[in-house]
Amino acid sequence: MDARADSALAVQAEGVRKSFGKTEALRGVDLSVPRGMVYGLLGPNGAGKSTVVRILATLIRADAGTALVDGVDVARNPATVRSRIGLAGQYAAVDEYLTGRENLEMFGRLSGLRKADARARATELLERFDLTDAADRPSKGYSGGMRRRLDLAASLAARPPILFLDEPTTGLDPRSRLTMWSVIQDLVDDGTTVLLTTQYLEEADRLAQRIAVIDRGVVIAEGTPAELKARVGGEGLEVAVVEPGDLERARTIVSRVASDEVFVDPERRRVRAAVADGPRALADVAGQIAAEGIPTEDVGLHRPTLDEVFLALTGRPAEDDDGAAAMDEGSG
Amino acid sequence: MTAARALRDSGIIVWRQLVQLPRIPEVLIFSLIQPVMFVLLFRYVFGGAIATPGESYVNYLMPGIFAQTVAFGAVASGIGLAEDLRRGIIDRFRSLPMARSAVLVGRTVSDLVRNAVVVGVMYAVGLAVGFRPEGSIGAQLVAFGLLLLTSFAFSWIGVVIALSMKTVEAVQSAGFIWLFPLTFASSAFVPTDSMPGWLQAFADNQPFTIVVNAARALFLAQPVGNYVWLTIVWMVGIIAVMIPLATRQYRRRSG
C-alpha cells in the first residue's frame, strides 16, 4: 500500500480520497510533481484543488490513499512535512493588526528561526517583495496586492524547498497579478518547487511547466501545456475576410491544406481548419489569397488555448462552475 | 516537540495578542463598558431594593462584578479565536512546524493578562462608587488570584465553544447564552436566600457562586469557609477537562 518514495519528486500522491459528509471532494487523485518547477493544478471552482493542497499541507487528513511531500508521508509524519513546506493562498492569512515586519518575524520564529535570524530574514523578505516602505505599518492598511505579497513572504520565512500556493492571484487586479507572476518565477529560478492551484488558464499556461487538470475530484489530464494543447488537435489556420462574399473562395483555398474538416463562421467572416504543417500551410494560403486578390483582415496560425483544452476534456468551459461550486468545501 | 519549544511558541503567540491589544482599543473599551454599566445599574438602580444584612450593597456587589467580568471574558476569548479561524491565520499556524498547543495556550494566557487589567480598572471604578474593601492586602491578593484562575478556566470554555461553532456570530451568541443563568442565578447580585428553593439549591452549589463567595469573603474580611479550596478545585477541574477537549478539536478542525 505504500508508495515507493521517488527522490526526484517533490510531491507524490496516489489514490487520495476525501469526503466532506456525503460530498466526495476527491475521488482518487494521483499526482507526481517533479522538483524545481511550477506545477499547475488547474480546475474550476469546486474541482477539489484546495482540498488537495490542504491534505498535502497537513491541514486535513485524506480518507484513503498516500501522499508524500519531499519524500515524507503526510499522514505519518505531518510535523516533518511542516518543516519542509510553505503555504500561501487566496485568503492572505497574515495578522492585520501586526505590521508587515512583525508578521514576518513572528512567522519566521514560529517556523523555527532564532530571533536574530528571523529579524534578518524579515528585512530581506520585505526588500525582496518591495514592502520596505510599508514595513512598519499594520498590514490592515495594505492594498490587496501588498497583502498577498506579504502572505507569500510569510510562507518563505524558513526557506522551505516546497511551496503550495492556493490561487495566489484570485481577486487581484491585472498589475498585481503580473507582479505575483514574476515573484513566483523568481522563486523557481532559486530552486523552489511550487505547486500552484489556479482557475485561470492563462496563469497556468504562463507559469507552469507541467499541469494537472482536475475536475470533480479526479485528475482528468496531465502534461506540459504544449502536450495538453496538442490533445485538442494541433495547430489551426484561420483566415478572416473583409467581404462576406469572399468566404466561399477562402474556404476553397483553405481546404487544399486542411488536414480535417473546414469550418466557416459567416458571422465573424472567418474560415478555420486544422493543419498538419502550420508554417508551410500558412505560406501556401497567404500566397493564393494574394494571387486571387481577396481582401483579408487576418491570415494566421492559431494555437489552441487552454480554454479549448478544458472544453475538449470536460465538455464544458472552465469558468463554468455550475453544479460543482457546492462541492468546494472552501478553505477558511 | 519539546516542552521548551511549546513554551517558546506559546510566548510568541502571547506577544502577538498583547501587541494587538492597544491597536484594537475597542476590544478593551467594550470589555470595560459592560461591567461599568452593571455597576451603575446595580449600585444606583436596583441596589436600593436589595437587602444585604450586615454589609453595604456596593461592598456586596463589587466582588460579584469582578467575577462576572472575568467570566464574560470567555466570550472575548471565543470571538478572538473564531475571528482567527475565519481569517485563515489558524490554517497558517497549523501548516507551520510550531507546537500545536501554542495557539490555544497563547490565547488563553494573553486573555488572562487582559482580564487582569480589566479587573484592576473595575477595582478603581468600585472605589469611586463607594466600595470599601476591609480585607488585608494579602487576602485581597488571594481574591485577585482566584479571579484570574477563574478567568483562565472560563477562557478555555470560550475556546472550546469557538472550536465547536462554524461562524463568529454563532460563537458570540453561544458564548453569552450559558453565562446569563450562571452569573445571575448566583450570589453575585442578590443573596440566594431570596430565591425559590429549587433555584437556591442550584445557585448555592454552582461554581460561579463559589468563586463569588470566596472573593467576597476575602475582600470584605469575612470567614472564607471552604470557598477558597472549592474554587481552586472547581477551576482546576474545568481546566483539566477543557484543555484536552480544546486540543482535540483544534487538531480536527479543518478551518
* A270 and A128 within one domain: no
Nearest to A111 among B24, B85, B97 (CB): B97
pLDDT band at B162 (very low <50, low <70, confident <90, very high): very high
Q: How far is the CA of B179 from the CAs of A11, A137, B33, in angstroms?
A: 49, 38, 17
* A286 and A224 within one domain: no
CATH code, domain carrying A56: 3.40.50.300
A257-311 pLDDT per residue, tens? 887 778 888 888 888 887 878 788 888 888 988 888 888 888 888 777 777 777 7
How many other CB atoms sit within 10 Å of the CB of residue A272?
20
Chain A residues with CB under 8 Å of a chain B CB are 54, 57-60, 79, 82-83, 85-87, 89, 91-98, 102, 106-107, 109-112, 138, 154-155, 158, 329, 331-332
* A169 and A100 within one domain: yes
Q: How far is B158 from chain A (nearest CA, A)?
A: 20
- B39-62 as b/e: b if 16+ CB within 10 A: beebbeeebeeeeeeeeebbbbbb
B113-127 pLDDT per residue, tens? 999 999 999 999 999
| A83 phi, psi to nearest 5 deg | -80, -5
Instruction: Give the pLDDT confidence score for residue B155 in this predicted structure.
Output: 96
Residue A9 forms beta bridges with which residues? Answer: A34
A183-219 pLDDT per residue, tens? 899 999 888 999 999 988 888 888 999 999 999 999 9
Judge: A57–B20 Cβ closer than 8 Å, yes or no. no
Among A234-238, B58-62, B178-182, which stretch is predicted with the lowest mean pLDDT?
Answer: A234-238
* Residues A96, B83 contacting (CB under 8 angstroms): no
* B98 touches A: beta carbon within 8 Å: yes
Judge: B89–A331 Cβ closer than 8 Å, yes or no. no
* A256 and A211 within one domain: no
Percent of chain B whose predicted confidence (pLDDT) is above 70: 99
Contacts of A98 in chain B (CB under 8 A): 16, 19-20
CB pairs under 8 A between A and B: 76
* A275 and A188 within one domain: no
CATH code, domain carrying A250: 3.30.70.100
For the residues A113-139, what does the mean pLDDT come to?
Answer: 95
Mutate to test the interface with B, among A18, A55, A97 (most CBs of B within 10 A): A97
Burial class (CB in 10 A: 0-12, 13-18, 19+), B196: exposed
Look at residue A125 and tell me whether its pLDDT is greater than 60. yes
Interface of B with A in 57-86 (CB under 8 A): 85-86
Judge: A54–B254 Cβ closer than 8 Å, yes or no. yes
Query: Which residues, at least 6 apart from A213, have a Cβ–Cβ distance to it below 8 Å?
Result: A42, A43, A219, A220, A221, A222, A228, A309, A310, A313
Give pTM, 2 decimals: 0.82
Cell for A126?
Answer: 520585505
Judge: B89–A93 Cβ closer than 8 Å, yes or no. yes
Look at residue A328 and tell me whether its pLDDT is greater than 60. no
Percent of chain A whose predicted confidence (pLDDT) is above 90: 51
Percent of chain A whose predicted confidence (pLDDT) is above 70: 92
Judge: B93–A79 Cβ closer than 8 Å, yes or no. no
Instruction: Give the pLDDT confidence score for residue A83 in this predicted structure.
Output: 93
Is residue A320 included in any domain, yes or no?
no
Residue written as grid cell 527522490 = A7
Q: Coil, strand, or helix at residue A97?
A: coil
B82-118 pLDDT per residue, tens? 999 988 899 899 999 998 889 999 999 999 999 999 9
* Residues B32, B118 contacting (CB under 8 angstroms): yes
Among all residues of chain B, which has the CA nearest to that of A108?
Answer: B96
* A292 and A171 within one domain: no
Instruction: Give the pLDDT confidence score for residue A243 in this predicted structure.
Output: 87
Judge: A87–B95 Cβ closer than 8 Å, yes or no. yes
* B7 touches A: beta carbon within 8 Å: no
Q: What is the mean pLDDT of chain A?
A: 86
* A127 and A246 within one domain: no
Is residue A327 included in any domain, yes or no?
no
* Residues B67, B206 contacting (CB under 8 angstroms): no
Q: How far is the CA of B84 from the CAs of A7, B79, B246, in angstroms?
A: 37, 9, 15
Judge: B12–A89 Cβ closer than 8 Å, yes or no. no
* Full residue range of the structural domain in which residue B214 is found: 3-252
- How far is it, in rounded angstroms, from Cα B227 to Cα B158? 24
Handedness of CA A279, A283, A286, A292 (dihedral sign): negative
- How far is it, in rounded angstroms, from Cα A5 to Cα A225? 26
* Residues B242, B153 contacting (CB under 8 angstroms): yes
Cell for A269?
Answer: 467572416
Q: How far is the CA of A102 from the CAs of B40, B42, B69, in angstroms?
A: 40, 43, 31
Look at residue B13 and tell me whether its pLDDT is greater than 50. yes
- How far is it, in rounded angstroms, from Cα B69 to Cα B183? 10
Mind giving me the DSSP string for A248-263?
A: HHHHHHHHTTEEEEEE
Instruction: Give the pLDDT confidence score for residue A331 in this predicted structure.
Output: 37
* A141 and A279 within one domain: no
- Per the structure, how many domains does chain B have? 1
Judge: B95–A85 Cβ closer than 8 Å, yes or no. yes
Contacts of A60 in chain B (CB under 8 A): 254
Judge: B92–A154 Cβ closer than 8 Å, yes or no. yes
Contacts of A83 in chain B (CB under 8 A): 97
For the residues A136-161, what does the mean pLDDT come to?
Answer: 93
Q: Coil, strand, or helix at residue A273?
A: strand
* B237 touches A: beta carbon within 8 Å: no
Instruction: Give the pLDDT confidence score for residue A89 in this predicted structure.
Output: 82
Look at residue A319 and tell me whether its pLDDT is greater than 70. no
Handedness of CA B206, B210, B216, B217 (dihedral sign): positive
* Residues A64, A111 contacting (CB under 8 angstroms): no
Among all residues of chain A, which has the CA nearest to that of B23?
Answer: A97
Nearest to A97 among B20, B86, B94 (CB): B20
pLDDT band at A234 (very low <50, low <70, confident <90, very high): low
- How far is it, in rounded angstroms, from Cα B238 to Cα A230? 64
Look at residue A1 and tell me whether its pLDDT is greater than 50. no
Among A54-58, B43-47, B156-160, B211-215, which stretch is predicted with the lowest mean pLDDT?
Answer: B43-47
* A295 and A209 within one domain: no
The torsion of the CA quartet A121, A123, A127, A128, rounded to 10 degrees, works out to 10
* A255 and A169 within one domain: no
Of B175, B170, B202, B198, nearest to B186 by C-alpha is B202
Q: Which residue has the higher pLDDT, B99 or A105?
A: A105
- How far is it, in rounded angstroms, from Cα A7 to Cα B10? 35
For the residues B216-226, what does the mean pLDDT come to?
Answer: 93
Which of A229, A251, A283 delimits the end of a domain?
A229
Among all residues of chain B, which has the CA nearest to that of A51?
Answer: B254
Is residue A331 included in any domain, yes or no?
no
Among all residues of chain A, which has the CA nearest to that of B90?
Answer: A93
Instruction: Give the pLDDT confidence score for residue A75 in this predicted structure.
Output: 93
pLDDT band at A332 (very low <50, low <70, confident <90, very high): very low
Look at residue B47 and tell me whether its pLDDT is greater than 90. no
- Per the structure, how many domains does chain A have? 2
* A155 and A30 within one domain: yes
- The interface pTM score, or ipTM, of the predicted complex is 0.88
Amino acid at B14: V
Is residue A4 included in any domain, yes or no?
no
For the residues B190-208, what does the mean pLDDT come to?
Answer: 92
Look at residue B254 and tell me whether its pLDDT is greater than 70. no
Mutate to test the interface with A, among B90, B95, B248, B251 (most CBs of A within 10 A): B95
Mind giving me the DSSP string for chain B?
A: --HHHHHHHHHHHHHHHHHHGGGSHHHHHHHHHHHHHHHHIIIIIIGGG---TTS-HHHHHHHHHHHHHHHHHHHHHHHHHHHHHHHTHHHHHHHSSS-TTHHHHHHHHHHHHHHHHHHHHHHHHHHHTT----S-HHHHHHHHHHHHHHHHHHHHHHHHHHHH-SSHHHHHHHHHHTHHHHHHSSTTTS-GGGS-HHHHHHHHHSHHHHHHHHHHHHHTT---TTHHHHHHHHHHHHHHHHHHHHHHHHHH---
Contacts of A94 in chain B (CB under 8 A): 89, 92
* Full residue range of the structural domain in which residue A208 is found: 9-229
For the residues B185-194, what does the mean pLDDT come to?
Answer: 91
* A139 and A49 within one domain: yes
| A58 phi, psi to nearest 5 deg | 65, 20
